[in-house]
Amino acid sequence: MLAHWDRVMNANYKKVRERCRKGIPPSVRPRAWLFLCGGKLLLEQSKTLYKELILREGDARWVDDIRKDLHRQFPFHEMFVDQAGHGQRDLFQVLKAYSILNESVGYCQAQAPVAAFLLMHMPAEEAFWCLVSICDKYLTGYYSQGMVYFCIL
């Protein structure tokens, strides 16, 4: 089904919806999430963008806030226990890249647990594109600067 995603979604949307409601098997869940949220399409449209974004400095204010929040995300999960480990490094890069990509939003604390959860299930680049799709397509305005209860000012 995932190999022919566009065709399946166009021809059998109801079938996909039914299968999702019955539960996506854990073995394909990360790949399915990437397709379902639209992250796969974004990844294919901008194949090198994530790699370019993680090389940029980023806004010092957002970078500082992101660093302060890294240890708070699933602190007892093996992936995020070590401050110098790949989990916190990947989380920093995903959040910094998003803050650069969407400068009008920047970074909000509520993005970190979403990004961390995605990283527990998929590589950083895929997690980034899922986060972009979730924030910009499904939660538009939720992470905006006007949401003072969710944003770090």
Domains and CATH numbers, the chain: 1-37 (no CATH), 38-153 (1.10.8.270)
pLDDT the model gives residue 149: 44
pLDDT the model gives residue 128: 98
5 compared with 41, residue with greater pLDDT: 41
Q: pTM score, two decimals? A: 0.82
Instruction: Give the torsion sign (CA, 119, 122, 128, 133).
Output: negative
Give the Cα separation of 56 and 78 in Å (integer): 28
- For residues 38-66, give the mean pLDDT: 95
Whether pLDDT at 139 is above 80: no
When mean pLDDT is compared across 26-30, 73-77, 93-97, the lowest value belongs to 26-30
